[in-house]
Amino acid sequence: MAYGDVSVVSMMPELTNSIDDDSGSSPWTSLPTDIVEHALALLPFPYIFQVRSICKKWNSLIFCSQFQEASLRCPVPWGQFYSPRIGWKGGASPLVTWQSYNLSEGKWVSMPQFEFPTFARKFSWNLIAANGGLFCFGASDARRLLVCNPMTKRWKELLPVSLDSKAPIISHMIVDEQRNSYDILFLGNAAYKQPDARCRMVDLYDSVTDTWNAAEMLPADLILKSGAYCSGEFYCLTRHFLTGRYTIVILDLTMLRWRDNNIRIPEGFENYPYIVACSGQVHLVSGSSEATDTMPMASIGIFRLDPNLSSWEKVSEYSNFQFLRSTGAIYGCGAHGSKIYVVTYAYDMWIAVYNISTGIWEEPIKGNFYDMKDIFETKFSFQPNLRVAP
């Protein structure tokens, strides 16, 4: 059975014939529904989408609340995937083919196809944010937005965003599964440059009220670099337009205002910094300012932020000579589960993985440039979720 192949009826004719048997003699037809739901919930992802093609009853199963509850209690985790890679030709072909990268297995995994709504097929679309099992697509006109759950194939067109926020430098999606709601945060506008105030625009979409709300503008003279969400606040790594200094500024998403204190990043670690949220805390990943004749940085540091004290605690410093000698700049950085992934690139692309829960750096991985480039340019994680609706 091919991983991700959603057409498996021909591969299981005996099972198909048994279920479709109208005589009532099939043991499958006599099983109580809750037993079938529990059995299918034990299937690893995405095999559950393969069995949907067996019969109509099973095809509609994932929309059943009882099955969704069973899948949450399932001891076989569906797992997390990284960096959805979307392929859609548009025009005559409505099908969207997509893959997601499984970091634990080191390969791209084909996911179940879905279709854009009919009205949306006259535009081209880009994936601009993803989180909690939802995708957010932006249209070619830079104003239209669509949110979908690719597992349930449900869609919603959002209200147009303001003209001054149509090309965000940072876009981020925050999903609250308990409330079955989500927010979409747009920061900056790539169409404008400092000191134009329009490059400091901040807008937040609230799915509960179905409205866009303008937040306080980004403080002046700051250039957005990266961002991370944690506990109701959005942490932005910025660089001062004039001095070049890196600071963290924090947006309160309830008040839609920036906190007064700006936090400098640790001295001595100002090479290629990135900010990520991992295991419920904000971390900074950066190369040391010290360089050698053969390496642009002598080590890579990971620091944990204490937002109350506005201070950093060094979690780990990575100085694997063999790894650093083979690398150039930090190309990208992301967090997934309890792991932080640091990608460097010189002649080859390498991944260093730090496990927050164990405090151990894993053996560095040499990756394919194009695969790794796709992963850490998008920086989106994907967690299959049947419960959240767009």
Quick: pLDDT tens for 229-263.
999 999 999 999 899 999 999 999 999 999 998 99
Query: Is residue 45 located within the same domain as residue 177?
Result: no
Partner residues linked to 126 by β-bridges: 138
Residues 332 and 284 in one domain: yes
Domain that holds residue 337: 81-382
Q: How confident is the model at residue 320 (pLDDT cuts 50, 70, 90)?
A: confident
* Type of residue numbered 234: F
- Pair of tokens at residue 101: 């990268």
Q: What is the mean pLDDT of residues 106-125?
A: 79
Q: What is the pLDDT of residue 14?
A: 46
Using the 3D structure, point to which of 57, 73, 89 is the last residue of a domain.
73
CATH number at residue 179: 2.120.10.80
Assess whether pLDDT exceeds 90 at residue 380. Answer: no
Whether residues 86 and 149 fall in one domain: yes
In a domain, 254, yes or no: yes
Q: Is residue 390 part of a domain?
A: no
Note whether 159 and 65 are same-domain residues.
Answer: no
Q: pTM to 2 decimals?
A: 0.83
- In this prediction, residue 15 carries a pLDDT of 45
CA distance 118 to 133: 22
Q: What pLDDT score does 6 carry? A: 37
377, pLDDT greater than 60: no
The reply to whether 220 and 143 lie within a common domain is yes
Q: How far is CA 209 from CA 158, 163, 192, 195, 213, in A?
A: 11, 20, 29, 33, 10
Q: What is the DSSP-derived secondary structure letter of residue 318?
A: E
| Per-residue model confidence (pLDDT) at position 236 | 97
- Reduced to 3 states, what is the DSSP secondary structure of residue 321? helix
Asked which of 73, 97, 118 is the last residue of a domain, the reply is: 73
Neighbours of 95 (CB within 10 A): 11
**How many folded domains does the chain comprise?**
2
| Inside any domain, residue 2 | no
Q: What is the mean pLDDT of residues 290-317?
A: 87
Percentage of the chain lying above the pLDDT 90 cut: 31
**Has residue 1 been placed in a domain?**
no
CA 1/CA 47 separation, integer angstroms: 9
Q: Are residues 20 and 133 in the same domain?
A: no
Domain boundary among 73, 106, 125: 73
Say if residue 13 is in the same domain as residue 32.
yes
109 shares its domain with 54: no
* Contact in structure between 163 and 186 (CB atoms under 8 Å): no
Calpha distance 338→306 (Å, rounded) = 18
Let me know whether 289 and 311 are in one domain.
yes
Question: What is the 3-state composition of the chain as percent helix, strand, coil, each rounded to the nearest 5?
Answer: 20, 40, 40
Q: How far apart are CA 323 and CA 344, in angstroms?
A: 9
Distance, CA of 384 to CA of 388 (rounded, Å) = 10
In this structure, of 118-122, 218-222, 348-352, the range with the lowest mean pLDDT score is 348-352
Give me the mean pLDDT over the 70-78 stretch: 60
Name the pLDDT band for 307 (thresholds 50, 70, 90): confident
